[in-house]
């Protein structure tokens, strides 16, 4: 660390003189978090020509010991005519690898980070705030929520958002390490409020009218059919999954906005993003996603939407927590909630526990819906893949009362002679 005396600032920050200029630097007591790093401008005591950069999280840089990112920030600030710079972050934890960030946001740390940002921006007249987090914002789902809080601070302080160069494919501003000195500075709106709209646009870019017609028929959307009134853009599932990978940083509120869409592919995209966020989330985030999923079952209203999500969210969340919610769903008047209950047990089956599947299957033998016959038969078949004796034990008690489709699905993988014996009632 270069320079002379260090002086305490209001709010706990430090300024350290170096080469006639003042460092702006604030960390926590153990230097495990950094809230601001930069240099005051030379031409103005209030630093009106200071560029404020927002990254994802701090690494190792300190006054006089800049790392590649902070050196790039200083270089680009000077290239655009700013005589000072300050580097902030969405989250203040020091980590050389964003993959090592806290699994769960430390709200106290986040609050201090926001307070520092508001104090520092309050010293500037019409602060220019450079968005520079790159795709690293996708490292943790809650970083998007951090961005929303920072954006509100910037708005209160009268700040103006900018980015440099072109945006990434997912709409994120470029990281300083990947920008040339002559990269243009352009107006920018934080993507928190616009990712759902960008995702909708991405779906429409790959939509195909012929596929839309086919999917309308395939998913039985006609009068009196199980998906009556559902509407399709004409986007195949692999394309939707590719788009989902581009928008992993979307906030939960925007995921739910997609889930509530009248367009099937938008609902699928929102649900796929919820599955990914559940996998990556901490305990609190998972509880929130699980509850949101149950609150939105009216929009999880086709078999494909259920089958790619129920076991990943409902099943995973209820593993080891009791079956009361599954029993309630299995007794619902909604076809889709009953299917959610059964498919959710796939997670249990994969963990080696087939009791919940067999219990629900026994209670659904007289379900009137063909899609339930298929779902129950499918889950019985999954039980048999891992424990054939358990599946056959269930079948020998119930197969003569089972709907034909349910039985056919359950015994699909059986040797032909054994399969025929069940079909002909000779077991």
**What is the Cα–Cα distance from 357 to 362, expressed in whole angstroms?**
9
| Cβ 203 vs Cβ 231: under 8 Å | no
pLDDT attached to residue 2: 31
Residue 160: its H or E element? strand 160-164
Residue 50: its H or E element? strand 50-55
Q: What is the distance of C-alpha 400 from the center of its chain? A: 45
H helix intervals, 207-263: 209-218, 237-246, 252-259
Residues paired with 17 in a beta bridge: 22
pLDDT attached to residue 116: 96
pLDDT attached to residue 285: 85
**What is the Cα–Cα distance from 273 to 196, expressed in whole angstroms?**
11
Could you give the 3-state DSSP secondary structure of residue 229?
Answer: coil
Residue 384: its H or E element? helix 370-386
Rounded to the nearest 10 degrees, what angle do helices 370-386 and 335-350 cross at? 0
pLDDT attached to residue 9: 40
Domains and CATH numbers, the chain: 6-190 (no CATH), 194-301 (no CATH), 309-427 (1.25.10.90)
Residue 74: its H or E element? helix 68-79
pTM of the predicted protein model: 0.62
pLDDT attached to residue 387: 96
Low-confidence ranges of the chain (pLDDT < 70): 1-21, 42-48, 170, 191-194
């Amino acid at each position: 660390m270069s320079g002379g005396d260090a002086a305490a600032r209001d709010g706990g920050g430090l300024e350290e003189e170096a080469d006639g200029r003042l460092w702006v630097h604030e960390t926590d007591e153990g230097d495990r978090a950094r809230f601001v790093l930069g240099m005051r401008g030379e031409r103005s005591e209030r630093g009106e020509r200071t560029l404020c950069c927002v990254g994802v999280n701090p690494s190792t840089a300190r006054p006089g010991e800049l790392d590649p990112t902070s050196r790039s920030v200083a270089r680009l600030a000077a290239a655009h005519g700013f005589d000072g710079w300050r580097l902030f972050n969405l989250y203040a934890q020091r980590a050389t690898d964003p993959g090592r960030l806290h699994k769960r946001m430390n709200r106290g740390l986040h609050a201090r980070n926001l307070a520092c940002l508001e104090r520092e921006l309050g010293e500037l007249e019409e602060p220019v705030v450079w968005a520079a987090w790159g795709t690293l914002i996708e490292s943790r789902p809650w970083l998007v929520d951090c961005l929303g809080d920072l954006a509100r601070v910037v708005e209160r302080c009268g700040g103006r958002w900018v980015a440099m160069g072109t945006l990434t494919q997912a709409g994120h501003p470029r990281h300083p390490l990947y920008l040339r000195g002559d990269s243009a500075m352009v107006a920018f709106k934080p993507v928190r409020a616009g990712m759902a709209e960008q995702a909708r646009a991405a779906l429409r870019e790959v939509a195909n009218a012929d596929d839309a017609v086919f999917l309308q028929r395939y998913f039985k959307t006609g009068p009196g059919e199980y998906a009556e009134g559902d509407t399709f853009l004409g986007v195949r599932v692999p394309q939707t999954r590719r788009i989902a990978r581009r928008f992993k940083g979307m906030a939960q509120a925007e995921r739910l906005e997609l889930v509530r869409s009248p367009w099937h592919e938008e609902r699928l995209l929102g649900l796929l993003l919820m599955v990914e966020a559940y996998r990556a989330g901490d305990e609190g985030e998972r509880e929130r996603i699980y509850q949101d999923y149950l609150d939105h079952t009216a929009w999880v209203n086709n078999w494909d939407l259920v089958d790619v999500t129920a076991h990943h969210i409902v099943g995973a969340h209820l593993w080891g927590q009791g079956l009361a919610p599954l029993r309630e769903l299995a007794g619902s008047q909604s076809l889709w909630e009953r299917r959610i209950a059964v498919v959710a047990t796939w997670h249990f089956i994969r963990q080696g526990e087939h009791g919940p599947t067999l219990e629900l299957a026994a209670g659904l033998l007289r379900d009137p819906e063909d899609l339930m016959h298929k779902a129950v038969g499918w889950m019985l078949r999954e039980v048999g893949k891992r424990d054939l004796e358990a599946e056959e034990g269930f079948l020998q008690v119930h197969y003569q009362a089972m709907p034909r489709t349910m039985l056919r699905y359950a015994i699909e993988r059986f040797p032909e002679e054994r399969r025929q014996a069940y079909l002909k009632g000779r077991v």
